[in-house]
């Protein structure tokens, strides 16, 4: 088990102690290869104690996203360029050739090196480097470019911390999720894996499995939240890495104020933004039926062509020969395309390292990729990073109002 992080920003952590150099020596639920367990910390001026805010509580954890603001540096507006002939715009590829700077924003066909007005920064090239102007204008007239100069955010004092929760007790599946997202973790984001403890089931393949895993994770996280060792205190968001409408998602939204999302809902929303119709590659036949119902619960049945089962159990994704699993995923993906899907979702966190098999299966005859294949774990991480960056927590006014006070009112002092 390990946690992965993007390249560090300004703040550097102190080196781990010798006792933590060997990851196998630590048996906590949040094992980290790079850093020791984080002890509870509070921002200056905040109250101590349980950091997770419920309902009307006035204290807020470091993990809360309320009130965060990230300043941006806005460059001054560009001066008007001299008049030039109107030319079509095209996207120029990035990279350099012959020592000239190339950019990916639209520029004029006539904007060859040394053949037009030059400007500093913005669309013309990197900041402080002269590049071709992208301002189309009529002969003898002058107009402002429709493109502004870029705005860039200032560096944050600390990385955004995401907890990726595997609600089953199979640690190798957590490792596979972390390995798959390592190349795409955004700058300034750290992701820590968590594997559900015993008696959580080894796979989530039924409603009973989902309920058992929810109970095990809730109790374990509550224990860690009150401990002085590794804790959920400093996390800014949580991802439930199970491709289902898992009951743990809503339970965590009730218990904590940070954003909580599931990988199924994240990938469904991404599919709706990038395509017209989507289909899901499922594991067993029961999963196919459950996914049909859950897509309807999310209100997206109109855009759904259905699920195709690989007829494999969750753990068989790892235990069966790799070639066999890849062939089954490829066959299911092609079947969904025939049904009209232009976007394919991999319907299990255990498929996260098999994305290539699905992508290769749905290539066009000329080798192009016109069908999207979405890894649900990647979609969850990228969407969570965006939610944290927006600084908006889970609403505590209605459905997700904290439940602890009501339990205590009725005399239930246990979780």
- Are 204 and 167 a contacting pair, CB within 8 Å? yes
Between these two residues, 137 and 354, which has the higher pLDDT value? 354
Between these two residues, 270 and 68, which has the higher pLDDT value? 270
User: Residue 202, class by beta-carbon neighbours within 10 Å (0-12 exposed, 13-18 middle, 19+ buried)?
Assistant: middle
Closest CA to 380 of 334, 345, 330: 345
- CATH classification of the domain holding 195: 3.40.50.1860
The pLDDT assigned to 352 comes to 82
Confidence of residue 96 (pLDDT cuts 50, 70, 90): very low
Element (H, E) at 162: strand 160-166
**Residue 93: inside a domain, yes or no?**
no
Confidence of residue 129 (pLDDT cuts 50, 70, 90): very low
**Residue 365: inside a domain, yes or no?**
yes
Whether pLDDT at 156 is above 80? no
Domain that holds residue 360: 264-376
**Residue 87: inside a domain, yes or no?**
no
Q: What is the pLDDT of residues 162-206, one digit of tens each?
A: 999 999 999 999 999 999 999 999 989 999 999 999 999 999 999
**Residue 95: inside a domain, yes or no?**
no
Confidence of residue 16 (pLDDT cuts 50, 70, 90): very low
259 with 286, same domain: the answer is no
Confidence of residue 142 (pLDDT cuts 50, 70, 90): low
268 with 258, same domain: the answer is no
**Residue 303: inside a domain, yes or no?**
yes
Closest CA to 376 of 265, 277, 286, 300: 265
Token pair 């969904």 is found at: 336
229 with 365, same domain: the answer is no
- CATH classification of the domain holding 327: 3.40.50.12500
Between these two residues, 191 and 34, which has the higher pLDDT value? 191
Confidence of residue 229 (pLDDT cuts 50, 70, 90): low
Query: Is the Cα torsion angle 370, 373, 379, 381 positive or negative in sign?
Result: negative
The pLDDT assigned to 56 comes to 39
| Mean per-residue pLDDT, 90-103 | 42
- Which segment of 116-130, 235-249, 310-324, 392-406 scores lowest on mean pLDDT? 116-130
Whether pLDDT at 110 is above 90? no
**Residue 400: inside a domain, yes or no?**
yes
Between these two residues, 347 and 105, which has the higher pLDDT value? 347
The CA distance from 38 to 49, in Å, is 15
Neighbours of 403 (CB within 10 A): 13
Number of structural domains in the chain: 2
Predicted model pTM: 0.66
- Which segment of 46-50, 154-158, 301-305 scores lowest on mean pLDDT? 46-50
Confidence of residue 2 (pLDDT cuts 50, 70, 90): low
235 with 159, same domain: the answer is yes
Confidence of residue 250 (pLDDT cuts 50, 70, 90): very high
Whether pLDDT at 17 is above 50? no
The pLDDT assigned to 381 comes to 97
The CA distance from 117 to 124, in Å, is 9
The pLDDT assigned to 269 comes to 97
290 with 360, same domain: the answer is yes
Share of the chain above pLDDT 70, in %: 64
- Which segment of 122-131, 159-168, 262-271, 328-337 scores lowest on mean pLDDT? 122-131
**Residue 341: inside a domain, yes or no?**
yes
């Amino acid at each position: 088990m390990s946690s992965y992080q993007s390249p560090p920003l300004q703040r550097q952590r102190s080196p781990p102690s010798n006792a933590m150099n060997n990851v196998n020596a630590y048996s906590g639920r949040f094992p980290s290869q790079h850093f020791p367990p984080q002890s509870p910390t509070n921002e200056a001026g905040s109250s101590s104690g349980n950091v997770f805010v419920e309902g009307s509580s006035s204290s807020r954890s470091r993990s809360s996203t309320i009130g965060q603001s990230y300043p941006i540096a806005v460059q001054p507006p560009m001066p008007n360029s001299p008049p030039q002939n109107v030319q079509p715009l095209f996207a120029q590829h990035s990279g350099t050739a012959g020592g000239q700077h190339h950019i990916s924003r639209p520029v004029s066909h006539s904007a060859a090196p040394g053949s037009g007005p030059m400007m500093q920064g913005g669309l013309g090239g990197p900041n402080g480097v002269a590049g071709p102007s992208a301002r189309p204008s009529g002969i003898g007239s002058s107009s402002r470019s429709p493109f502004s100069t870029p705005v860039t955010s200032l560096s944050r004092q600390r990385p955004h911390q995401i907890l990726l929760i595997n609600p089953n007790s199979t640690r190798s599946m957590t490792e596979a999720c972390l390995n798959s997202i390592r190349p795409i973790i955004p700058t300034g984001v750290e992701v820590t894996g968590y594997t559900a403890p015993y008696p959580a089931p080894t796979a989530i393949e039924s409603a009973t499995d989902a309920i058992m895993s929810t109970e095990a994770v809730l109790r374990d996280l509550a224990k860690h939240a009150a401990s002085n060792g590794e804790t959920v205190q400093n996390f800014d968001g949580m991802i439930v890495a199970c491709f289902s409408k898992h009951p743990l998602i809503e339970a965590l939204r009730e218990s904590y104020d940070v954003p909580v999302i599931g990988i199924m809902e994240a990938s469904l929303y991404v599919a709706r933004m990038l395509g017209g119709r989507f289909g899901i590659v499922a594991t067993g036949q029961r999963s196919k039926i459950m996914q049909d119902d859950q897509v309807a619960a999310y209100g997206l049945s109109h855009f759904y062509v259905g699920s195709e089962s690989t007829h494999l159990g969750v753990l068989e994704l790892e235990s069966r020969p790799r070639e066999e699993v890849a062939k089954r995923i490829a066959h299911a993906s092609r079947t969904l395309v025939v049904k009209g899907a232009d976007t394919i979702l991999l319907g299990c966190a255990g498929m996260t390292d098999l994305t290539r098999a699905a992508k290769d299966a749905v290539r066009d005859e000329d080798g192009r990729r016109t069908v999207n294949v979405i890894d649900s774990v990647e979609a969850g991480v990228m969407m969570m990073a965006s939610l944290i960056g927006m600084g908006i927590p889970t609403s505590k006014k209605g459905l997700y109002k904290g439940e602890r006070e009501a339990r205590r009112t009725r005399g239930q002092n246990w979780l």
